[in-house]
């Protein structure tokens, strides 16, 4: 579907794309087929797609996999897709917000087929959805997604890199990540102002993280990377208040530094210099304090980016 055809289709249905929804559609069908193949899609798969758009990637996936369930939040696009019969018969179109669907329920409908996710993720929801997918690593074969290259850098960063942050730590503890391709703005309509990357993520065969621990690691790293240019003790000061109640500020700081040293972390380090396994060890050390764990949203990631 070239740009002119796409414009005509949108005009025909009175549709206007929304920046708030992060709508940037792939226009290159050959690229879509290549990405679907490199994502590992194969006959017999049940593939979930987020962000149908006008179906360029959807049709590529459907040409390989047995069954595709694709999610689109824009009601106007859903009407256009149905009116124009743009999707093959093995595609089920669902009008929903991907942040609110019952992922495990959907996977349970696969009937024993391998389940993977392949998507051109709307930029507006990419980070929270990436976090959600980490909690589904026990039921998904893998997930391959188009995201902003800036976010992709955070997934593949190594300790000490500027892009290294909370999202990096969570992925390195639980998954392997391969950046399959960089995609120029010219391959989308409308053209985004940034480059995009297509990445494949799959669960690590032997992750050190046990059930329930990832949320605890997230809580620590979000706090620490909120002040990424300062010593790790600065970002963890509020956690120390809850871990060591009743202590004076100076004593509380000493207790926090002692806990860091206990797991092999130099209190003078900045957060980006601390290895993922050390963050996990610190989370386990704090677990004995029975601190409440925050939710899974990655609002803290925005603070990280602002501090870069």
Q: If DSSP codes are grouped into helix, strand and coil, which group holds residue 166?
A: helix
Find, among 175, 186, 112, 177, the residue nearest to 151 by Cα: 177
* φ, ψ for residue 41, nearest 5 deg: -60, 140
Instruction: Round to whole Å and give the CA distance between 155 and 177.
Output: 7
Neighbours of 144 (CB within 10 A): 22
State percent of the chain over pLDDT 90: 82
Find, among 267, 269, 265, 271, the residue nearest to 228 by Cα: 271
pLDDT of the residue at 18 = 75
Residue 103: beta bridge partners?
A: none
* Strand runs labelled E in 12-157: 25-26, 46-50, 67-72, 91-95, 115-120, 143-148
pLDDT of the residue at 254 = 97
Low-confidence residues of the chain: pLDDT under 70: 290-308
Range list of H helices, 39-165: 56-62, 75-83, 103-108, 126-134, 149-156
pLDDT of the residue at 134 = 98
**Domains of the chain, start order:** 3-203 (3.40.50.150), 213-307 (1.10.8.100)
Find, among 219, 223, 213, the residue nearest to 296 by Cα: 219
pLDDT of the residue at 298 = 36
Pairing of strands 188-189, 25-26: antiparallel
pLDDT of the residue at 291 = 54
């Amino acid at each position: 579907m070239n740009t002119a055809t796409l414009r005509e289709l949108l005009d025909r249905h009175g549709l206007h794309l929304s920046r708030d929804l992060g709508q940037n559609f792939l226009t290159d069908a050959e690229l879509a087929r290549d990405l679907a193949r490199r994502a590992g899609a194969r006959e017999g798969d049940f593939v979930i797609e987020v962000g149908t758009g006008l179906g360029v990637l959807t049709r590529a996936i459907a040409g390989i996999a047995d069954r595709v369930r694709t999610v689109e939040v824009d009601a106007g696009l859903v009407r256009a897709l149905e009116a124009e019969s743009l999707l093959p018969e093995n595609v089920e179109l669902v009008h929903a917000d991907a942040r609110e669907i019952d992922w495990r329920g959907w996977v349970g409908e696969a009937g024993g087929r391998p389940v993977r996710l392949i998507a051109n993720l709307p930029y507006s929801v990419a980070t929270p959805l990436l976090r959600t997918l980490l909690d589904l690593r026990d039921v998904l074969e893998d997930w391959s997604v188009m995201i902003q290259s800036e976010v992709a850098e955070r997934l593949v960063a190594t300790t000490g890199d500027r892009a290294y942050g909370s999202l990096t730590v969570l992925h390195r503890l639980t998954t392997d990540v391969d950046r399959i391709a960089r995609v120029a703005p010219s391959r989308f309509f409308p053209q985004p102002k940034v480059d995009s990357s297509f990445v494949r993520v799959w669960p690590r065969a032997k992750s050190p993280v046990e059930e329930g621990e990832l949320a605890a690691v997230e809580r620590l790293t979000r706090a620490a990377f909120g002040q990424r240019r300062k010593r790790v003790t600065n970002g963890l000061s509020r956690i120390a208040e809850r871990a060591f109640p009743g202590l004076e500020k100076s004593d509380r700081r000493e207790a926090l530094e002692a806990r860091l040293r206990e797991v092999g972390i130099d209190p003078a380090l900045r957060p980006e210099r601390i290895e993922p396994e050390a963050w996990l060890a610190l989370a386990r050390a704090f677990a004995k304090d029975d601190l409440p764990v925050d939710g899974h949203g990655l609002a803290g990631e925005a603070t990280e980016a602002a501090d870069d």
